[in-house]
């Protein structure tokens, strides 16, 4: 068994296979109820009566042609199919209904609609949207049989050829991810052998510097924009103003998401600032779910986030000379930026990666032609095309180094954008992250970096939320499986990596460099969520690994 198979992709892969052929599962009917699902492959058509599916759920008896489909396309055969058809998903009515009517969700439905079509072969997105909305609103709730009953067409057409194409894409994505992760493990093993001695390094635990938390309101008059910022500052001004660490949280998160990291760094003597992000935080997402905001992804946030941090640094630069409460407590010219997810995009933009609206972005962002269907972050990155004449370069020379955890940017920056980053950069990815897949969003972009001090860290078994604090997943409560193993492990990794990185590359303390090595990552690593760290990987190495069949796997 390959050790790095992304387990959170299994349900998606299974779903793609199901939609590919047994797509009995995703094709519904409304008040007049779809009575037939027609599986189409070129000129061949296989009609399936919805009544047969309903009988199967009640009696476990399936017609021979459905037995064949289930045996060929579903890992668990008919047992799996019965469970899939009757399982009701626990979704909150009002919130999901409103999400179904947002532009971002409709892009997803268009992709599904290539496979699940109306009876006359048109893209099924509008019908899928209507069926989901109606199914959720019934007493029975959202299960696949009820979805079929609500589909607003007497016939549902399933394009099996298109479904199989998508299934092949899923398989290819998973296979290449496995190869890339095995390559990282091999490189890490090689770097361990050449790493400096780490056996006698003292652990990086909480510091002893007293600190206090306060709030600062920042107004950018040029954009008529005001936002709050949490500050964590030394209680007493030290002899030399300490470097500032700015933390940018992700979409739907809030000021508490990385408060644990701010407190830790403050205890080590650093000043820390966490700015609020009004159009992408948990409050904004709550407004989307309440119908008070139009779309979960406001494209303007791609511009406002980096500009907000610029405005914050400008304001702090003024106040350190005029405000006694801030004088001597921070150095706004010596800044490290740490970001998670959309916050990862933010800090990479500030590090010098310009955003693009070029033809390569438009090709990837075509809602029908998108290749990496498992990369949910495309929904966010492609919103760059909704911006009119945006600024493209947010580079701020006050930013001396950046850490991007589970970042997104492969499309909006691309190889050329990542290649323009000229400050020390650490990318952190997780093997079970389907929101920002590790190969597309961290491993490949790492090979595009030209800056000499660069680090790639991988959390095996980690998810998109493994380094978060606070409630764990922002405004939406996710099941424990989506959160991954004990998040305290990921948080500890981020504490240690952040401290060593900022001390080394912003505070000019080279004694912390050994903590940023493959060998120390091995020391820090925990069995439930093993940690890898590498500093070298070329595009040629990665491309060769992705095209070479896997014959052996690296051992942890």
pLDDT band at 358 (very low <50, low <70, confident <90, very high): very high
Question: pLDDT tens for residues 262-305?
Answer: 999 999 999 999 999 998 888 887 777 777 777 788 899 999 99
pLDDT band at 19 (very low <50, low <70, confident <90, very high): very low
Q: Yes or no: is domain 195-547 CATH 3.40.720.10?
A: no
Sheet containing 331-340, strands listed edge to edge, beginning at the edge strand earlier in sequence: 211-220, 225-234, 271-275, 243-248, 331-340, 399-405, 425-430, 454-459, 531-534
Compute the chain's Rg from CA coordinates: 25
Provide the token pair at 362. Answer: 């438009």
Tell me if 29 sits within 8 A of 149, measured CB to CB: yes
Question: pLDDT tens for residues 36-53?
Answer: 888 887 777 888 888 888
Provide the token pair at 323. Answer: 């405000």
Residue 552 has pLDDT above 70, yes or no: no
Question: pLDDT tens for residues 212-240?
Answer: 999 999 999 999 999 999 999 999 999 99
Q: Residue 80's pLDDT is what?
A: 67
Characterize the bridge pairing of strands 331-340 and 399-405. parallel
Q: How far apart are CA 125 and CA 104, in angstroms?
A: 13
Q: Residue 550's pLDDT is what?
A: 56
Residue 325 has pLDDT above 50, yes or no: yes
385 secondary structure, DSSP code: G
What are the start and end residues of each CATH 3.40.50.1820 domain in the chain? 195-547
Q: Which of 12, 6, 11 is nearest to 458 (CA)?
A: 6
Residue 367 has pLDDT above 90, yes or no: no
Residue 351 has pLDDT above 80, yes or no: yes
DSSP states of 105-172:
HHHHHHHHTTTEEETTS-B-HHHHHHHHHHHHTSTT-B-HHHHHHT-SSSEEEEEHHHHHHHHHHHHH
CA distances 23 to 18, 127, 148, 307, Å, are 5, 15, 11, 46
Residue 550: CB atoms within 10 Å: 12
Question: pLDDT tens for residues 84-131?
Answer: 788 887 776 666 777 777 777 777 788 888 889 988 888 989 999 999
């Amino acid at each position: 068994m390959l050790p790095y198979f992304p387990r959170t992709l299994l349900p998606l892969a299974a779903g793609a296979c199901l939609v590919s052929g047994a797509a009995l599962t995703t094709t519904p009917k409304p008040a007049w109820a779809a009575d037939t699902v027609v599986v189409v492959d070129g000129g061949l058509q296989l009609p399936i009566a919805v009544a047969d599916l309903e009988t199967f759920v009640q009696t476990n008896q399936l017609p021979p042609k459905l037995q064949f489909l289930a045996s060929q396309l579903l890992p668990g055969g008919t047992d799996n199919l019965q469970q899939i058809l009757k399982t009701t998903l626990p979704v909150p009515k009002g919130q999901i209904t409103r999400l179904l009517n947002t532009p971002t969700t409709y892009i997803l439905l268009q992709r599904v609609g290539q496979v699940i079509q109306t009876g006359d072969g048109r893209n099924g997105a509008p019908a899928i949207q209507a069926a989901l909305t109606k199914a959720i609103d019934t007493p029975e709730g959202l299960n696949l049989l009820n979805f079929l009953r609500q589909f607003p067409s007497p016939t549902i057409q399933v394009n099996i050829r298109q479904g199989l194409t998508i299934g092949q894409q899923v398989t290819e994505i998973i296979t290449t991810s496995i190869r890339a992760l095995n390559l990282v493990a091999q490189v890490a093993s090689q770097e361990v052998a050449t790493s400096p001695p780490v056996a006698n390094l003292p652990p990086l635990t909480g510091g002893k510097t007293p600190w206090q938390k306060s709030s600062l309101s920042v107004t950018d008059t040029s954009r008529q924009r005001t936002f709050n910022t949490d500050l964590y500052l030394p209680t007493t001004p030290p002899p030399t103003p300490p470097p500032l660490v700015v933390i940018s949280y992700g979409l739907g998160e809030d000021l508490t998401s990385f408060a644990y990291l701010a407190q830790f760094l403050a205890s080590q003597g650093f000043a820390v600032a966490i700015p609020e992000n009004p159009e992408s935080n948990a409050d904004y997402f709550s407004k989307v779910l309440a119908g008070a905001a139009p779309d979960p992804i406001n494209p303007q946030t791609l511009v406002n986030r980096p500009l907000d941090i610029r405005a914050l640094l400008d304001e702090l630069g003024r106040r350190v000379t005029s405000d006694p409460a801030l004088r001597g407590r921070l150095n706004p010219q010596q800044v490290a930026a740490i970001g998670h997810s959309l916050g990862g995009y933010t800090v990479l933009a500030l590090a010098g990666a310009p955003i693009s609206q070029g033809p390569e972005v438009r090709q990837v962002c075509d809602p029908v032609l998108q290749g990496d269907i498992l990369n949910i972050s495309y929904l966010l990155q492609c919103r760059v095309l909704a911006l009119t004449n945006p600024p493209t370069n947010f580079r701020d020379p006050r930013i001396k180094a950046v850490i991007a955890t589970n970042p997104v940017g492969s499309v909006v920056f691309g190889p050329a954008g990542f290649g323009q980053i000229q400050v020390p950069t650490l990318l952190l990815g997780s093997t079970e992250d389907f929101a920002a897949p590790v190969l597309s969003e961290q491993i490949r972009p790492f090979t595009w970096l030209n800056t000499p001090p660069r680090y790639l860290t991988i959390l095996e078994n980690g998810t998109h939320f493994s380094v978060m604090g606070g409630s764990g997943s922002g405004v939406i409560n996710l099941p424990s499986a989506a959160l991954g193993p004990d998040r305290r492990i990921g948080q500890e990794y981020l504490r240690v990596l952040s401290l060593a990185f900022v001390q080394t590359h912003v505070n000019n303390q080279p004694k912390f460099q050994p903590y940023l090595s493959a060998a120390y990552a091995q020391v820090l690593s925990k069995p439930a969520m093993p940690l890898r760290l590498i500093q070298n990987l070329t595009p040629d190495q990665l491309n060769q690994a992705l095209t070479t069949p896997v014959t052996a796997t690296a051992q942890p």
